[in-house]
Amino acid sequence: MSTPNILMTRIDNRLVHGQVGVTWVNSLNANLIVVANDEASIDPVQQSLMDMVVSDGVQTRYFSLQKTIDVIHKAAEHQKIFIVCKTPQDVLLLVKGGVPINFVNVGNMHFAEGKKQIHKTVSVDEDDIKAFRELEGLGIRCEIRRVPDETGQPVCHLLN
């Protein structure tokens, strides 16, 4: 079993939108976006809206979290994979399931009741903080960076 070529994993509660589908894909030189999200995996409307903003020549797959865990190790060598999740809890689930993620880019986590804003585009609650701390504890760097040419900020520095 070969190790899948995962270029980056991003947390974005909008999943794939223009910035993700074009800017990040191009800067990473990814040719496959894996959206690991239970709802999106069974929602053809959401999938076709996301497909519209993805660069030509880039494939998309919409997998449940469990299916991502089950199939990621079957990825071919030529597949340069960009994983997109909605929450740090989802990323943690993938990691615990054996998906070899060593770096997480945090894009958007919208403000909601019970969350506190730690960055322009990122708000967290206790659950999110716990998941980020656990990821960091596993040696997985998590940094907030909306676009590729922005300087990333480590999440752990903003949690305190």
Residues with a known catalytic role? 17
Amino acid in the structure at residue 37: N
Q: Residue 38 and residue 68: Cα distance in Å, rounded?
A: 10
Going through the chain in order, the beta strands assigned E by DSSP cover 6-12, 32-36, 59-63, 81-85, 103-108, 116-119, 122-124, 141-144, 153-154
Q: Residue 144 and residue 150: Cα distance in Å, rounded?
A: 9
Instruction: Check residue 93 and report its DSSP letter.
Output: H
Residue 76 phi, psi (nearest 5)? -80, 160
